[in-house]
Amino acid sequence: SKSYAMTDSLQKMEEKQSELARLRSVAEEALRRAVGENAVHEERRGVLEGELKVEREWRQSVQGTIVSERDKIATLQQEISQLKAVANKYVELQEEHYRLSEQCREQELTLEELGTQLSHSKLQVSELKEEASVTRSVADALWTSDKEVSHCKACSKEFNITRRKHHCRHCGGIFCNSCSDNSMSLASSAKPVRVCDDCYVLLVARNSVVH
Per-residue pLDDT at 135:
58
At 62, which helix (H) or strand (E)? helix 2-142
The three-class DSSP label of residue 170 is coil
pLDDT tens track for 134-150: 555 555 557 888 888 99
- State the DSSP string of 90-135: HHHHHHHHHHHHHHHHHHHHHHHHHHHHHHHHHHHHHHHHHHHHHH
Cα 115-120-121 angle, rounded to 5 deg: 95
pTM for this model (two decimals): 0.36
Q: What are the phi and psi torsion angles at 169 (to 5°)?
A: -75, 0
What is the chain's mean pLDDT, rounded?
85
Supply the pLDDT for residue 164: 94
